[in-house]
Amino acid sequence: MAVVGDSHAAVPSTTATPPLLEATNLAKRYPARGGWAGSPAVTTAVVDGVSFALEKGQTLGLVGESGSGKTTTARLVLRLEMPDSGRLLLEGEDWLALTGTALRRRRRDVQMVFQDPQTSLNPRMTVGDQIAEPLRVQRLAAGSERRRLVNERLMEVGLDATMARRFPSELSGGQRQRIAIARALASRPKLLVCDEPTSALDVSIAGQIVNLLLDLRDQKGLSMLFISHDLALVRAIADSISVMYRGRIVEAGTAAQVTAQPLHPYTAALLSAAAEPSEAHSPRRIILPPDASSEIGRGPGCSFAGRCPIARPRCAEEDPPMSADAPEHRAACFFPGELKASL
């Protein structure tokens, strides 16, 4: 099971072998306002003390609104950016300390499927060349063996080998996303990071892509970090769910726990927005006011207090720690489960 928390230490793994990926207190800040006339520059924490452990073969769903820090967390995991502080271990190895040849060799184990295949694929390269690129860079295959592997990856994602000669502009959106998945699979990764991989697709095509990812996960024993704003989608694909708000994890647990008994008011609101009106026992829709708080810095209290339907004076004064409803189900709220119970 994947476990995610806040700035406190990660929950220790109960397995004899180390988790595939383990993060401790990841933080990333960006300039929010440049200093002038001698005044100091102001920064904002986009990722603010995130810890998690992702076991082999498991899927962790990371859910939240736009701007919550999900994609930045993914970029830190991929080492597309370096955190300002914190640790990342890949199978027990210090992922952040690797450089040169060792880093290039290890990158084959962590690959990404981006949100929009139209922008993530190179329009000037054929499909075959793009799938072959990781094989070339990682020096995994050459010549006829490389062509064989390209054809094999195409068939794994449900496409004919003749697609290798075509360009992305000749393909549909669903086909392009299958190509992006095939490219990510070229180096036989252990971890696949999927950043909103269906949001740019029609609903029916999105369902096909989700089913493809599930099949590939089961067939290849992949671990996945699946990022989405859609809690209903994540509920269908993830073993565990972590809900992120303004750079922090505010709730984490198994998919069944988080969706059946949300502890944090923000999770309850996301769940109510994801529910279908026809669903039995669907929750009353919770409409949150816009986030009017400043993005620069954090106040002394809960960052969600200004939007929370059950906020009390204490919430504006103290920052709630992650408290446990069960060993693996936790939420950063002084009144966990209260909003859900009132619906």
* Strand order through the sheet with 21-33: 3-5, 42-54, 21-33, 85-90, 93-94
pLDDT at 11: 44
Share of the chain above pLDDT 90, in %: 64
pLDDT at 297: 54
pLDDT at 273: 79
Give pLDDT tens digits for 56-72.
999 999 999 988 999 99
**Residue 332 forms beta bridges with which residues?**
322
Output the CA angle 107-186-21, nearest 5 degrees.
40
**Topology, domain 3-28+47-109+189-342:** Rossmann fold (3.40.50)
Contacts of 122 (CB under 8 A, 6+ apart): 130, 168
Residues 249, 26: Cα–Cα separation, whole Å: 11
pLDDT of residue 4 exceeding 60:
no
As a whole number, mean pLDDT of residues 278-303 equals: 67
The residue to which tokens 């929009």 are assigned = 116
Q: Which residue, among 64, 66, 85, has the nearest Cα to 76 in the 3D structure?
A: 85
Q: How confident is the model at residue 283 (pLDDT cuts 50, 70, 90)?
A: low
Q: Which residue, among 171, 224, 168, 227, has the nearest Cα to 199 in the 3D structure?
A: 227
Give pLDDT tens digits for 35-52.
555 566 678 889 999 988
**Residue 240 forms beta bridges with which residues?**
60, 254
Residues 229, 234: Cα–Cα separation, whole Å: 8
pLDDT at 339: 77
Q: Where are the domains of the chain?
A: 3-28+47-109+189-342
Q: Which residue, among 231, 251, 234, has the nearest Cα to 243 in the 3D structure?
A: 251
